[in-house]
Structure 1
Amino acid sequence: KIFRAKFSSITGPEIRKAFEKMGKPNKNWSDSVEARKILDLKIGVAFTRFQTRYFIEKYGQINQRSLVSYGPCQTPTLGFCVRRNDERDWFKPETYWTIFVTIQQPTWESALRLRWNRGHLFNNQVVTMFYNTLKERSTITCISIKKQKTTRKKPLALNTVSLLQSASKGLHIGPKETMRLAEHLYLSGFISYPRTETTTYPKGFDFNGTIRALSHDSSWGYYAQRLSQEGLSPPRKGADAGDHPPITPVSYPTRELHGNERRLYEFIVKHFLATLSPDCEMEETSAEFEINNERFYANGSHVLSWGFMDIATWHKVDEHNFPSIVVNSTLPVHKVWMESGSTQPPSFLTESDLIALMEKHGIGTDASIPQHIGNIEEREYARVEHESRVLKPSRLGYIYIYIYMYM
């Protein structure tokens, strides 16, 4: 007789629990995996042979490997990169103009810049006309001020896609390398299984036990101890995909971690602690001003309680302290000026952007997304710039996609 044990972390309690609740293997699951392997192999081999011969006959040898591989997920992944670059190439910038006003009081730390309610206009003569009616004005009136408390929600529990995006954007570690490191941490018994779509913690999760195990580290131990003393904030309710629990630390490393492995483990720990922390509370101020029947506005924000951002420092908040102003007060104008600019093309596609597009359109799975992105780089279809983590198609990548577009 054959039974199957299911567990998501390599810890004694988890494995004992799995062996106490073993079930029979699901033959349908096994057959579907085997069928997918056979289809991927046959389609991949057939199309790769066809493409390689076609490209060499038409264009000669255009890469060092003399091989133009095909993959049902690799091709649309590359297609996203090519399309974004096309959008940038086809983009035609337009010049626009706007008006700014600054006001200043002796007791203020700095001048307050006011933005035009009309935004920016693409007609220079019209903006110049408005500017001429304002440039000689010496005072401006505050007609409304609104203050409201807002909340920046703490993050959901960590799933694979969020891990890949965060590692690329914040740690400059590519998806394929991130999964290699995560799998090594998992096999070492330091984190839970790193391939999951779930963003909600299971019932009965031992938060306190996990936090106690993390409380002696010099980087985050102080915060873990503070959470234990002040009490945990209930985590947000995420999505249960029915696969594995979210990615969490399960034990403190019994060996010294170095380099990117240490950085990734630290991120997973701090993200976990952030999910059990209070939200960030802010006070936001918006004010409207009038000068010669034209309206301008200014905004300010002030953090009341940092909450989870005390540990998740990669989440940024721009504080702009708003000066003390009374409604209906008249203030001296410091400066009025026109400013020009131009519309900007869409930014290059980053790994994080590409992961989001693949998830949105169902290209690959959380487990295979890193491999597909790695493939288009290794097979010379695109290259990734290390610091910015943007993807740029190669000449081969362009030809590959355009041949399919015009077939």
Structure 2
Amino acid sequence: MRLCIAEKPSVALEIARVLGANTRRDGYYEGNNYVVSWTYGHLCTLKDPGDYTPAWKRWDMRCLPMIPPRFGIKLIEEEHCMRQFRVLEALIAKADEVINCGDAGQEGELIQRWVMQKARCQCPVKRLWISSLTEEAIREGFHRLRDASAYQRLYEAGLARAIGDWLLGMNVTRLYSLRFGGPGRVLSIGRVQTPTLALIVRRQREIEAFRPEPYWELKTVYRDVTFTASRGRFAKKEEGEALLRAIEGQPFTVTDIAKKKGREAPPKLFDLTSLQVECNRRFSLSAEETLRLIQTLYEKKVTTYPRVDTTYLSEDLHPKVSGILKGMTDYAALTAPLTAAPIAKNKRVFDNKKVTDHHAIIPTGTAAPAGLSADERRVYDLVARRFIAAFYPDCEVSTTTVTGASAEVDFKATGRQILKPGWRTVFEREGSKKEEKAEEEEAEAVLPAFQKGESGPHQPSLVEKQTTPPKPYTEATLLRAMETAGRFVDDEALREAMKENGIGRPSTRANIIKTLLKRDYIRRERKHLVATPTGVSLIDTIHEELLKSPELTGQWERKLRGIEQGSYEASAFLTELKEMVARIVR
């Protein structure tokens, strides 16, 4: 008997249907020499401190640091978890082979391995690795099952992450609670949670310390076009006024007209973080809500595996793209021009070097999605249009820069015109927000036809403005900051390169934000995330910079990725963390 273990009942049902295991039993399906069962996410967890020695049950400074000689796991003491584990334990004892059908990622690997360890699995274990739950993907996956040993590094990375979080969280939370918390007050500190809170507190401090300063800009209107003085800002009003007086009553002369044609490539496909950012920006959906929605779409077989950190597709998907596009019948008007000719194999989309476990989030294209909620439909529409746009031509633009002068004061105005919309055609019917539309219209203003040397009257003015403080984080900007370890990066290629040093994983960032909210370290103020007095006080209390450094946490993430890829050892990572914990306690 071949036993398949999925991560949740809904996924087990899909696999059972494909395998022909159609008889429902208590906790599993069976048929066609297969048994398909499931976990409920985590059934096992690392042992609590008191499970190692009675002395560690008490919160006592003399017991720190708590570093078990060997970490162990235990069942989660909830009735439904214990009941399902007993089912799995009995099935594993009778199985000729176990097929790990857990979520195809680091955490999914850890969940299944712990269950098999706890059940003392002795039979051979294979691994199912799929990126969508369509019948075709499941059948393909079962044709290319691999031995579990091929994913040993993935398991070691997940285990190192869990142990590292235990070491730091258990020890430092107790340390700071006992030292600074007062009676009954717990100061929760975590490897990813605390640097994320520190980012928010730091930004808040910058905003509070900000003092607006006035500055002046010299502008003039000529032929209904606003030109700005090339001198830039004036810190002193007198300087601007002197130039204003010099040009008043003087003619404005166009000195040069420069036209430059350019191309804009389509936006990259979605990884989880960029999808969460876009959903927060467009629809005010939280990172957690977006993850829940895209996970549902995956389980409904309309999009691929969501917990990914790449914006590329593997090259073996290239022959399937045309079929996926044809299957997206709701978007036939947009896909028809693409499917009429062979799909180009563009390096911006297909790159095996940029894909590890999974490719970017894309539609499966197997059927037009039906029965989706309004939010599910909006998220699906984003993914679908981004996928279609990836295969459209570049958008061709023309940028015109007109320079002029009045009494030897230089001015400049810039206009932008879309010559061929290319991929922008895909997004024309989306109905963006009013302010976004206004920004687009301003950015794409077409200048009238000017002639070099023409001259005429103009209306100069000195405009007073004020410097503005940094903006508070939204979930979108915080996710980007976590992705780049707190550095502001707008360039797509550079951001891609910095992902290895990001704080947390794409799949865990939403939960980190949720935890900070739940513990009242941060709160929502409309779209903004603001640190509470409790959160600010906690960051002020933590004197050890290592605990709140986004850069250091980013380095740890890179090492965990190195464990997964075989370039770094889990033992070295854990030794480093144990030494750090001991040093902090001392």
TM-score normalized with structure 2 length: 0.63
Q: Does 1:78 align with 2:78?
A: no
Residue 156 of structure 1 contacts residue 235 of structure 1 at CA under 8 Å; is this kept in 2? no
Partner of 2:120 in structure 1? none
Q: Which amino acid aligns with 2:207?
A: R
Q: Of residues 231, 239, 242 in structure 2, which corresponds to 1:126?
A: 239
Q: Does 1:143 align with 2:255?
A: yes
Q: Which runs of 5+ in 2 are unaligned?
A: 1-123, 486-501, 546-586
Shift of 1:144: 0.4
Residue 97 of structure 1 contacts residue 120 of structure 1 at CA under 8 Å; is this kept in 2? yes
1:204-223 counterparts in 2 under 5 A?
204-205=316-317, 206-215=320-329, 217=330, 220-223=331-334
Cα distance in 2 for partners of 1:290, 1:150 equals 27
Partner of 1:242 in structure 2? 356
Shift of 1:271: 0.9
Cα distance in 2 for partners of 1:367, 1:340 equals 46
Cα 1:252–1:390 change in 2 (3 A) is farther
Q: Of residues 191, 210, 233 in structure 1, which corresponds to 2:303?
A: 191
Partner of 1:363 in structure 2? 503
Partner of 1:342 in structure 2? 466
Cα distance in 2 for partners of 1:196, 1:171 equals 21
Residue 190 of structure 1 contacts residue 252 of structure 1 at CA under 8 Å; is this kept in 2? yes
Q: Give me the CA root mean square deviation.
A: 2.2
1:1-400 counterparts in 2 under 5 A?
1-26=124-149, 27-54=152-179, 56-57=181-182, 67-104=186-223, 111-137=224-250, 139-205=251-317, 206-215=320-329, 217=330, 220-229=331-340, 232=343, 235-237=346-348, 240-250=354-364, 251-253=366-368, 255-313=370-428, 317=440, 318-333=443-458, 335-361=459-485, 362-386=502-526, 389-400=527-538
Q: How many residues align?
A: 388
Residue 135 of structure 1 contacts residue 337 of structure 1 at CA under 8 Å; is this kept in 2? no
Shift of 1:236: 5.0
Q: Indicate the structure with greater helix content.
A: 2
2:296 is paired with a residue whose SS is helix
Q: Which amino acid aligns with 1:75?
A: T
Structure possessing the higher relative contact order (Cα contacts under 8 Å, 6 or more residues apart): 1
Shift of 1:405: 4.3
Q: Which amino acid aligns with 2:389?
A: A
Cα distance in 2 for partners of 1:378, 1:260 equals 24
Q: Which amino acid aligns with 1:144?
A: D
Shift of 1:243: 1.8
Shift of 1:234: 5.1
Shift of 1:233: 5.8
Per-residue deviation, residues 108-127 of structure 1 (Å, max 9, x unmatched): xxx11111010111011111
Identity of aligned residues (%): 25
Residue 324 of structure 2 contacts residue 363 of structure 2 at CA under 8 Å; is this kept in 1? yes
Residue 213 of structure 1 contacts residue 252 of structure 1 at CA under 8 Å; is this kept in 2? yes
2:476 is paired with a residue whose SS is helix
Residue 181 of structure 2 contacts residue 187 of structure 2 at CA under 8 Å; is this kept in 1? no
Partner of 2:34 in structure 1? none
Cα distance in 1 for partners of 2:379, 2:302 equals 11
Shift of 1:204: 3.5
Q: Find the structure with the greater CA-based Rg.
A: 2
